Amino acid sequence: MKKLIMMCAILISVAGLASAGPTYLITFNEFPLDTVISNQYAPLGVVFTAATYNLPVISMNGAMPTPPILRPDGGPGFFQGDFWIQFTTPAVAVSFDSGYWDAIGAGQIDVYDPYMNPIANLSNTVIGVNVTNLTGKIGYIYFNSVADGAGADLDNLKFTQIPAPGAILLGGIGAGLVGWLRRRRTL
């Protein structure tokens, strides 16, 4: 019986470690200034696409606490515009800084699940730097700063991916192994 309990504890620990989805932080200092961003972060599970205007660009903005930042490109002003964030593996938690906002409610941040079903329609709640925290099964985020007088940008994108299906398989194999060993009375 002691062997069975110990084996179960080990398998649960291993399956627990394997099932935790990775968490990534993108600070946009990973590439040089003026880099147009599209699929450079794809190995981490996120891509950026143009919406109404152009692809976003890594830039400096002294109004943000930790430049460089990712700014929209091609809107009516230098920091005005819109773009899409797509999580190639859905995220369960997402946070980011946005700003510098000149007016409350000037930003448009729409959140969608992996099938493009709307989850939330948000806006900036402060003048200055807004911190957004999201939870759920997130597949896409639409970021729009066109309505802000000077526009706004994005920084410190942090996200946790949904655990890979392999983790579920690993847990199932472990449970099956324990059952098989128990039947053979080797545990």
Per-residue confidence in pLDDT tens, the chain, 187 aa: 555 445 544 545 444 444 569 999 999 999 999 999 999 999 999 999 999 999 999 999 999 999 999 999 988 888 899 999 999 999 999 999 999 999 999 999 999 999 999 999 999 999 999 999 999 999 999 999 999 999 999 999 999 999 866 545 555 666 565 666 666 666 6
Closest CA to 154 of 138, 131, 136: 131
| pLDDT value at residue 143 | 98
Peptide bond into 100 cis (omega under 30): yes
| pLDDT value at residue 77 | 80
Placement of tokens 């996120």 in the chain: 46
| pLDDT value at residue 21 | 92
| pLDDT value at residue 176 | 64
Full-model pTM:
0.79
| pLDDT value at residue 168 | 53
| pLDDT value at residue 165 | 63
139: left (phi over 0), alpha (psi -120 to 50) or beta: alpha
Are the beta carbons of 175 and 8 closer than 8 angstroms? Answer: no
| pLDDT value at residue 74 | 86
Segment (H or E) for 116? none
Q: How many CA atoms lie within 13 A of 8 on its CB side?
A: 9
| pLDDT value at residue 15 | 47
Contacts of 101 (CB under 8 A, 6+ apart): 107, 124, 126, 127, 128, 129, 130, 145, 148, 152
| Residue ranges of E strands in the chain | 23-26, 46-50, 54-59, 69-73, 82-101, 108-112, 118-122, 128-144, 153-161
Compute CA distances 126 → 44, 143, 157, whole Å.
30, 16, 19
| pLDDT value at residue 125 | 95
| pLDDT value at residue 76 | 81
> Distance between CA atoms of 110 and 141, rounded to whole angstroms?
6
Are the beta carbons of 126 and 53 closer than 8 angstroms? Answer: no
How many residues can be counted in the chain?
187
